[in-house]
Structure 1
Amino acid sequence: MIDFVKALNQSGASISWDEAGNVHAKAGCPLDFSDKVVYIGEDALNLYLLIFLAIGAQSHLKITGGAALKLADLSALSHFLPGLGARLTNVVPKTKGLPVRLESSGILPDDVTVPDDLPAEALCALLLAASFWPGTVTLRLPATPVSASCLAAVLPLLHEAGIKATADGDTVRITSGTMTIPAEPALAMEPLVATYLLGLPAVAGGNVRLTGLWPAACAEAEAAIALLKAGGLEVKRDKDGIASTYAAVPGDMDAPLATLPPAYAPLAVLLAAATFASEKPARMPALPAGTDALAATGLLGQLGLEADAEDGALTRVETDIPGAGWASPAPEWSMALAFGSFLRSGLRLANPGNITELMPAFWALFNGLPSPDLKPKPKEIIDAKPARRRIIAG
């Protein structure tokens, strides 16, 4: 979020944030993407949002970013943009990621057919940014589960902001207008982070309750709950939040995992290890396509387990814990290892900082268990006035 705020400020906005996570925007500061160089950070959604906002007007800018976006493949976006009156070119020859140059005419079609190879982050960004384009635009989305998930995530936000957006099957019509942001926006939980936290009772016991809105009509969120239940957790939802306890009645995690992104694979490995620890037969589930197999094997090894090559059955193995710690390939694997320390003490993580990319408050929550308090503490008011002294002259 902070990376995106900084990128918008480089483009003419006047936005700030405070320690409590509140964002403050000053009115009367329109975005200007003419002859700018903007650093967007590491997040793909931020990059796509910046690009789709920029093509709503005449733009000419250079976009740079972190290592993850330098290695990204933006080919699908490059092929899609000419139909929107824009062109994306790579600064470094024979590369597919950042840095790039973006040029746009600001002349947008009224009817846009979205290709099926556009990433989910790009599709969400397109739906959001279209509400800033002039007039009404019709977006014809591919008939895929990804499109349905993106619509379920974005349309409630547009409606809450007072934007007219209607969906008829895979055809979406969005009309720009004056936005009215509520004082307390009803934003839903981020399903990936929430699901990991709800899985904690499987290894630590007790229960977890998250207050807020669980994503409604979201295929990923429903599959995530199915994964938790298959991993032996009882999950209960109500109007104020969602809660979980460990029932130790595991099921088959293969079905929900088949519809989830690879980011849920570490949690599935952790739940399988928790089943083994409860002295029930456990096996390695069929992880989602694209999962880092070496990371899965490495996490199991850190937990003192290995999976049979044929049927995936888990068995205990005697392995030493490396003194340097395990180098996790992504924040999700780091979070799973941290929770795995309830199953095997003495685990070490070589790169604990990467968890904060996914959840900035994770270590504060982890160190505060079993009853963490994540509410921001009020600043102590210090009287800066010097103390008055009484001088008596003899």
Structure 2
Amino acid sequence: MSNYTPSGPRTDDSESLFSLEERLLREERRLADAVLRRTRIFAEIAARRKDGKRRDTGQDFEKAIWKVWESVLQSEEAGHSRHWRQLVSQCNNLGQAYSEQKFSRKGKTWLLRPLAPAKAITLAGPADIFSTKIISFWAAVTNAPARIRPVVLNDDLIELIKSLNQTGAGLAWENETISHTPRRTPELSLEQKTIHVGQSTFTLALMVALAMARPGIAKFSGSGALNMFSIKPWQAVLPHLGARLHQLNPHAPGLPVRLESSGQPSQVQIDADTPMDLILALLAAAPFFPQGLDLTWLDHPIAAPELETLFLLYSTFNVPFTRLPNGFRVSPAMPRLPEQPRIPLDYFLNSMLLAWSRMTRQQITLHGNWPEGSSAGDHLDLLRSCGVQIETGPDYIRATPESWPESPVLDIQGQEQALPLAILLALCAPKGCTVSCQFEITNLDFITEMARWAGRDCLPEQGEVRFAPAPHPTDRGDGIFEAPDSRWGMALAMLSFRFPGPRLTNPGELTALWPGFWPIHQSVLSLAKQRTEDPSSRLSESPSNESSRTGKRRVKI
């Protein structure tokens, strides 16, 4: 047995267990610090190599890293070489994932100090991203001619198009349009192919679900976070559908993987551990399964806004489905797509744009078809509860600000996706506002900092958060924010119209979701000329002229 320890020779066996544990905890702290430094350096190297500033290959560099480890490991550890290699590979994957997250989407800190025009504005609203993915997927699988526009072309959507084209699809994209040209062979082919799916788990799930519709073997590779992605929850579900997913790289928990399918998926029972991306992908591919799909649950009903969207697409394109007491049944039937399918508006992105009218007291009109469904209606109800008049037509939706109700209560129940919009509106209520929900609020630190910037006290209680104007709003903090995700980044961007001056450290998160947002934020929602006054002066402005004596108002969605 080796006498080597990270801090020197091993002590004798008389050392107490408590002493050993204390020494290990000290080593863990140093180890965590070293791994963090290594991850940041590796991420910087990966980012520079991606930019073309380094000419050597990543494989050569990783071999050099392993040689360093071999020189440090003592000969007694030679029999455990495989485990050490797995550790090094995991550290490298962590650095790569950190690079893609921090460097490609973070970039420079952006100062958000917009100046809204003193007039109504009109623009085209962004189309629903999830619907675009499903319709593009269906067009490729059914081999139907299609021209889909306008669409939000983000990286995830482009990666899906590329993945489908690797199987023989004829998809193409240009500007805000996706087109599909029918191919000579009627079916897509994944047999014995390695499909690169990029870094989206939903793209991976769609391609895996598509492969299960036919017997055969397919392989999938990816990049970034998918190489660190745990496939164990997937491996627990797929055998019930006559398929098995095998990991090909023993040094990483995620991709690449090999799928072996019997081509006879028909029913599956899910639980709380089943990934939502996989559930949605199975339902999207179910019309192409030979027997359709019965997807049921035992104790945990599933709920997601994308489910409602998917069922509306079933109805629109003639896919028979049935809601069961404990699940859903989708019949085998090709979706009937028109050559120019109509994509509804993305209700979250457009609800945030409509909130601009509340921030600026100006009217805004968005061109597009407002989607059906309760989730989309719930977002409009939040706006109405804050004194925004909503007018909808066949191809537009318009928001007109009216007087604020006094101390509104926004009850979003269990709909976590509505929280960023509710918080945005609550922070602008002149006399305070309460956000009521039926779930544990995450990102509370970020919400508190937003409230501090807006001159509000944030008072979280059981099942709700109350916001009230701070008596002496002098300390607004440094105004530097790192948004937890793209939704919160958009909430901060819209809040800057009411309280200008925050700095966003990761604007790329929002760009990754909607590449066209920042140009619209800077040149359509804002005047080209930037504000010159101190943004803190906005806190001294009295919003009392917006108030009314309509009494406390509660909207339940």
TM-score range, shorter chain: 0.7 to 0.9
Answer yes or no: is the 8 Å Cα contact 2:240–2:267 preserved in 1. Answer: no
Partner residue, 2:541: none
The number of residue pairs the alignment matches comes to: 362
Q: Aligned partner of 1:54: which letter?
A: A
Answer yes or no: is the 8 Å Cα contact 2:199–2:222 preserved in 1. Answer: no
Is residue 199 of structure 2 the alignment partner of residue 50 of structure 1?
no
Q: TM-score normalized by structure 1? A: 0.78
Answer yes or no: is the 8 Å Cα contact 2:233–2:273 preserved in 1. Answer: yes
Partner residue, 1:376: none
Closer/same/farther in 2, CA of residues 144 and 206 from structure 1, 3 Å limit: farther
Deviations 1:5-52 (A, max 9, x none): 111223333321111232334423543323433332343332221111
Matches within 5 A, 1:70-109: 70=227, 74-91=231-248, 98-109=254-265
Partner residue, 1:59: 217
Answer yes or no: is the 8 Å Cα contact 1:284–1:307 preserved in 2. Answer: no
Answer yes or no: is the 8 Å Cα contact 2:363–2:399 preserved in 1. Answer: yes
| 1:186, distance to aligned residue in structure 2 (A) | 3.1
Q: Distance in 2 between matches of 1:221 and 1:144?
A: 24
Answer yes or no: is the 8 Å Cα contact 1:265–1:288 preserved in 2. Answer: no
Q: Which has the higher contact order (CA 8 A, sep 6+)?
A: 2
SS of 1:274's equivalent?
Answer: coil
Is residue 282 of structure 2 the alignment partner of residue 126 of structure 1?
yes
Given candidates 398, 419, 423, the residue that maps to 1:265 is 419
| 1:2, distance to aligned residue in structure 2 (A) | 0.7
Partner residue, 2:395: 240
Q: Aligned partner of 2:347: which letter?
A: P
Partner residue, 2:444: 293
Deviations 1:140-164 (A, max 9, x none): 4568764585553223323443444
Q: Distance in 2 between matches of 1:318 and 1:180?
A: 60
Deviations 1:35-78 (A, max 9, x none): 433332343332221111111121230332332x4565544332
Is residue 495 of structure 2 the alignment partner of residue 337 of structure 1?
no
Q: TM-score normalized by structure 2? A: 0.57
Q: Distance in 2 between matches of 1:321 and 1:150?
A: 37
Closer/same/farther in 2, CA of residues 92 and 259 from structure 1, 3 Å limit: farther
Partner residue, 1:358: 513
Q: Distance in 1 between matches of 2:511 and 2:307?
A: 28
| 1:244, distance to aligned residue in structure 2 (A) | 2.4
Q: Distance in 2 between matches of 1:222 and 1:146?
A: 20
| 1:363, distance to aligned residue in structure 2 (A) | 1.5
Q: Distance in 2 between matches of 1:225 and 1:40?
A: 35
Q: Distance in 2 between matches of 1:123 and 1:12?
A: 25
Q: Distance in 2 between matches of 1:185 and 1:340?
A: 34
Q: Aligned partner of 1:272: which letter?
A: A
Instruction: Name the one with the larger helix percent.
Output: 2
What are the ranges of 5 or more consecutive residues in structure 1 without an aligned counterpart? 373-394
Closer/same/farther in 2, CA of residues 283 and 347 from structure 1, 3 Å limit: same
Matches within 5 A, 1:166-177: 166-167=322-323, 170=326, 172-177=328-333
Partner residue, 2:344: 188
Answer yes or no: is the 8 Å Cα contact 1:120–1:150 preserved in 2. Answer: no
Larger Rg: 2
Answer yes or no: is the 8 Å Cα contact 2:294–2:330 preserved in 1. Answer: yes
Matches within 5 A, 1:269-284: 269-275=423-429, 278=430, 280-283=431-434
Given candidates 104, 113, 116, the residue that maps to 2:269 is 113
Answer yes or no: is the 8 Å Cα contact 1:208–1:244 preserved in 2. Answer: yes
Q: Aligned partner of 1:299: which letter?
A: M
Answer yes or no: is the 8 Å Cα contact 2:241–2:267 preserved in 1. Answer: no
Closer/same/farther in 2, CA of residues 336 and 371 from structure 1, 3 Å limit: closer
SS of 1:34's equivalent?
Answer: coil
SS of 1:182's equivalent?
Answer: coil
Deviations 1:63-97 (A, max 9, x none): 32332x4565544332111011112244566976x
| 1:105, distance to aligned residue in structure 2 (A) | 2.3
Answer yes or no: is the 8 Å Cα contact 1:191–1:221 preserved in 2. Answer: yes
Q: Distance in 2 between matches of 1:346 and 1:148?
A: 34
Closer/same/farther in 2, CA of residues 168 and 62 from structure 1, 3 Å limit: closer
Q: Distance in 2 between matches of 1:24 and 1:117?
A: 36
Deviations 1:164-216 (A, max 9, x none): 44445555443434543212323322222122122222212212333333332
Closer/same/farther in 2, CA of residues 152 and 344 from structure 1, 3 Å limit: closer
Is residue 504 of structure 2 the alignment partner of residue 349 of structure 1?
yes
Deviations 1:311-347 (A, max 9, x none): 7443253336648x42222111211111111122222
Q: Distance in 1 between matches of 2:512 and 2:505?
A: 15
What are the ranges of 5 or more consecutive residues in structure 2 without an aligned counterpart? 1-156, 528-557
RMSD: 3.3
Answer yes or no: is the 8 Å Cα contact 1:116–1:142 preserved in 2. Answer: no
Q: Distance in 1 between matches of 2:293 and 2:426?
A: 47
Answer yes or no: is the 8 Å Cα contact 1:328–1:349 preserved in 2. Answer: yes
Closer/same/farther in 2, CA of residues 177 and 287 from structure 1, 3 Å limit: closer
Partner residue, 1:303: 454
Q: Distance in 2 between matches of 1:15 and 1:151?
A: 25
Q: Distance in 2 between matches of 1:231 and 1:71?
A: 43
